[in-house]
Amino acid sequence: MEESRDGGWTLVTRKPYFGLPTACPVCLPVYIYLKFGRCPFNLELNSSYPDSDQIPYIEGGTYVAYNNEKGGVIQQLKQDGVVDLDSEFSSLPEWVSMKAMMSSWLADAITYELWLGSGENSAKQIYYSDLPWVIGKVLFVKQVYDVKQRFHISKQNAEKKEEEIHDCAKAAYRALSAKLGEQDFLFESRPTSLDADLVGHVLFILQALPEDSVLRTAVLEHENLIRYAERHRNDILNSDPSSASASNFQPPPSAAQTSSSSKPKRKPKREKTEEEKRFQRKAKYFIGAQLAAVLLFLSLLGSSSKVDIDEDDED
Amino acid sequence: MAKPDEFKPDPPSENPKTEVDDENGDDVYEEEETEEHELDEEEDDEPEPQLRGRIPQSAVLMQQAKLQGLFQRLQTQSVPLRVHDVLIKGNTKTKDYLIESEAALFKNCTTMQQILEVSRAVNFRLQALEIFDSVKITLDSGPPELPGTSNVIVEVQEAKSPLSGEIGAYTKAEARSSTVEGTLKFKNIFGHGDLWDGSFAYGWDNLAELSAGVHFPRFRGASFPLDVRAFLLSQDWLQFSSFKERSMGLSVALLSSRNHDLVYNLGWRTLTDPSQLASRSVRMQLGHSLLSSLKYTFKVDRRNSPLRPVRGYAFAATSQIAGLAPDSRCSRFLRQEVDLRYAIPLGILNSALNLGISGGIVFPWGTGFKNLPSPLPDRFFLGGNSSPISSLGGPTTVWGYRTRGLGPTEPRRQLKSNGGDEDAADPGADFLGGDLAVTAFADLSLDFPLRWFRDRGIHGHIFASAGSLERLTQNAYKDFSLQKFVSSFRTSVGAGIVVPIQPFRLELNYYYMLKKFEHDRGKPRFGVTFSM
C-alpha cells in the first residue's frame, strides 16, 4: 500500500514541446504561477488523456486541485492558501477586468487558433503525439467539432467569427501592452496570476504557433510584450539551478504518466525542424541584447521574492 | 441402425435404397415406409388383379429371407460400400461448398456401417449451422457401371424465417466473466452459412456490453469457423477502484474448438473518473489506450459435472500478449493464468473433495518496462460473488470477500468539507489489484440424508479458501520475497448449501475470515454466490 506523501507538490501537466516545460496553453500559466510563487514542485506529465478538463492538476498527499473545479487550479491554490500572489490586487477593478479579458478573449483566441486556425499541427504534437494514431485522429476530429459547437461556428459565419475573435485578441494585446509599458509586471513590481497568464499566453504564441499565425503577427506588433515574456521565460527556465534548459524537457517514454523532478532527464538528441532552428537563433539574439536588462531584473526579482516568501509563511 | 427399406419386387437391385435418420426420427421413415408400402400397394394394385393370387408364396418367402440376410450381414459383417457422389438438393441460397465441406467425410467411407455413422454426424453438423429447418440424407444406388458404390443425397430445407431471438447465459471471448444476454440473429444472408447477430449482455461484475457479430462456419472454404464481433463495453468500478472503463473495438475468434481458443482483440479503451476521487495510482492510469492482443486458451475439463464435480480433473491455461501493432504507443503487456481443479470421490453420501489452485501474473514489456505500471483493467482482482468450483477463469475468488475486496489499496482524494478547514468524511481507499495473484481452495461436498434433497441435487459443502495479491511492476519486484507473499495470504472458511439450477450453481453459505488485513472487505456473514 502506497503511503501518502507529506509535503512536496506535484504538478501534472501535458507534455513539453517547442522548448516549453509544458506546451499546453492551459497548463503553462499554472506552471509559471508556481514558479513565480517560488513554490517547489515536481513535474509529472500525462500524455494519455488529452481531452480531460481535469488537467492540469496539482497534488500533494491526498490533496488534489483539479482544473475543472472551483475556478481552476490557480484559484484553488489561492483559496487553500498554497500560493496566493493576488491578495493585494484581486479586488481592484482594473485587475478584475484584465482577468476577465484574459480568461475570455485571449483564451478563446488561443483555442480558436489551435484547433481551427493555423495551429493544427501544433495541437497534434502537443496532445496526440504519444497516443496511437487512430485514437489521436478521432480525438482531434472530435475536439475540432466541440470547439466549433462552443463558438457556434458554421460555414456561413466562420469568417465573421474568426474576424471577431482576432479583433478581440488584438484589442486585448493593445490594452495589456499599454498597461505593461516597460514594467516587469502588470501590477506594481510583483508577479500575479495575471502575469502568469500573460507570460504563458505570449510564450505559447511565440514558440508553439507557426509564423503565419494571425495571433503571432498581432503579438509581434507589441515589442514590450515580447521582451516581457522573454525576460520571464529565461527566469522561469533558469530559476532552478539544478534544472536543465527548456530544450531538454523530455516527453515520457510511453503514453503512461511518469514522474520526474524539476530536473528532467536528457533524452537522445532528435533531429530539429527548421522552425526550431530559427527559434533558437532568434533566442540567442534576444539573450545577447537583453543581458543587461536580465541582470537588473534578477536583482529586482530577488527583493520581490523575499516579500512573497514572507506572505506564504504567514498563510 | 436404420431399418432397411423393403425391396421393390420388380426390378431387384444389388444396391438397396436406404433411408437414414432424419430430424423427425423414425416417424418420417415410418411415413415413408407407409408411403412406400402404399406405393408398393398402389403398384401392386394395378397389376394386382392380374398378379394377385399369382405371386407364389415361395417368392415372398425368398424376399423375406433376403431381407433378413441383409439385416444379419449389417449386424455381423462389414458390407462393403463406397460413396461415389454426394448430391445436394434443396439449397436455393446456401452455397454448395458449405454443405459439401460438411459432407466430405463420406469420401472416406468404405462400408455401409461407416456410411450410416457418418450420415448421423453430417446430419448433426448441418443442423448445427442453424440455417436449415430440416436435413434429410438418403442413400441411393450408384452408377450401374460401378458396382459397390452408392450416391448420397443430402436434401436440406432452408430456414423459412431468417430472424430468430434468444436469451441465455454465455461466456464470450472478449468478456471477462459470464453474462446473461439477449440476442437477435439473422441467418444465412449471403448463403455462406453466415449468422449475423446483435446482442446486449449484462454481467455480474457491473459489465454492460452491446455487440454485433458475424459467424462464418467455413469462411471461403477454410476448415475452421470465423467469428468477428464489434463490441461496445462499459464497466463501472467507481465503487471499488474509482474508475469507469469504456471499451470499443473488434474481436476475432481465429480458432475455436473444444479445447482451444485463439482470439484477437483490437480495442480502444478509456478510463475515466467522473467522481474525481481517485487515488494517485488510479489517476495516473486515466486516459486512452489502444489494446491489440492475442489470447490463447487451452482448456480440458474431465470432471463429471462442472456444477457438482465428484470425480475428474480440469485444467485451463490462458496466455495473452498485448501490443501486437506496429504502433509502439499501444498498451503492451504479457498475462498468464493457470487453473487446476481436482475432484476426489470419497464414496459416502456421494461426497467428494474438490481441490483447486489458480495463479496469474501480468507484466508490461517494451522500452522502460521495469518502470511502467501494468494496465489497471488487466490486473488481477480477488473477491466477488462467484464460486471458484465452477469457474475456470484464473484467480478471481476467495470465498467471503466482496467484489475486489482484498489486496493493495491506496487512499482516495480527500475533500475539504463545505464548513471549513476540516476534512470531509473519509472517502475510503481504492483497490488497485495485483500483478501476481494466487488462490487455492478445498471443498468437501456431500448429499443430505433426505431423499427430497438428493432428487433435486441439493447438497451441502464445507470449504476453505485462501488468496493473495502482490505488486511486481514499477520495480516493486525487487522487494518481492516468497515468505512475505505467503504471509500475505488471506484465508476464509465456511459451510453452506448448494442448489444446482442448470446451468447455474447457487450457493447459500456462511463465511468466516480466519485471516484478513486492515482494508479488506470481508467479514463473517451469510452470503449467496451465483456462478455458471
A255 touches chain B (CB under 8 A): yes
Q: Is B260 helix (H, G, I), strand (E, B) or coil?
A: strand
Determine phi and psi for B20, rounding to 5 degrees.
Answer: -120, 180
Residues of B in contact with A52 (CB under 8 A): 286-287
Task: Decide: pTM greater than 0.90.
Answer: no
Give Dmax over CA atoms of chain A in angstroms: 57
Measured distance CA(A89)–CA(A104) in Å, rounded: 19
Kindly compute the dihedral angle of the four CA atoms of residues A124, A128, A133, A134, in this order, to the nearest 10 degrees.
-100
Residues of B in contact with A4 (CB under 8 A): 411
Q: How many residues does chain A have?
A: 315
Closest CB to B276 among A1, A66, A257: A66
- Hey, are the CB atoms on B411 and A131 less than 8 Å from each other? no
A69 touches chain B (CB under 8 A): yes
Measured distance CA(A76)–CA(A64) in Å, rounded: 10
- Hey, are the CB atoms on A134 and B268 less than 8 Å from each other? yes
Determine phi and psi for B179, rounding to 5 degrees.
Answer: -135, 160
Measured distance CA(B98)–CA(B78) in Å, rounded: 30
B179 or A72: which carries more pLDDT confidence?
A72
Measured distance CA(A215)–CA(B146) in Å, rounded: 91
- Hey, are the CB atoms on B289 and A255 less than 8 Å from each other? yes
* Contact between residue B302 and residue B340 where contact means Cβ atoms under 8 Å apart: no
B249 forms bridges with which residues in the sheet?
B231, B267
B414 touches chain A (CB under 8 A): yes
Tens digits of residue pLDDT in A251-279? 223 333 333 333 333 444 445 556 666 66
- The vertex-A289 CA angle with A287 and A293, nearest 5°, equals 85
Give residue B111's pLDDT: 85
Give residue B17's pLDDT: 40
Give residue B193's pLDDT: 81
Which stretches does DSSP call E strand in B413-489? 429-431, 436-447, 459-470
Closest CB to A256 among B276, B325, B372: B372
Tens digits of residue pLDDT in A8-55? 899 999 999 999 999 999 999 999 999 999 989 999 999 999 999 999
* pLDDT band, very low/low/confident/very high, at B179 (cuts 50, 70, 90): low
Treating both helix axes as pointing N-terminal to C-terminal, what angle do A223-238 and A27-36 enclose, rounded to 10 degrees?
Answer: 70
Mean pLDDT of B338-357: 92
B384 touches chain A (CB under 8 A): no
Residue B46 has pLDDT above 60, yes or no: no
Contacts of B11 (CB under 8 A, 6+ apart): none
Tens digits of residue pLDDT in A292-314? 776 676 666 655 544 444 444 44
Chain centroid offset of residue A16 CA = 11
- Model ipTM value: 0.73
Residue B23 has pLDDT above 70, yes or no: no
* Contact between residue B379 and residue B396 where contact means Cβ atoms under 8 Å apart: no
B43 or B458: which carries more pLDDT confidence?
B458
The Cα-based distances of A248 to A21, A102, A243, A267 in angstroms read: 9, 30, 9, 7
Tens digits of residue pLDDT in A122-175? 999 999 999 999 999 999 999 999 999 999 999 899 999 999 999 999 999 999
For chain B, what percent of residues have pLDDT higher than 90?
Answer: 32
Measured distance CA(B383)–CA(B397) in Å, rounded: 5
Q: Is B433 helix (H, G, I), strand (E, B) or coil?
A: coil
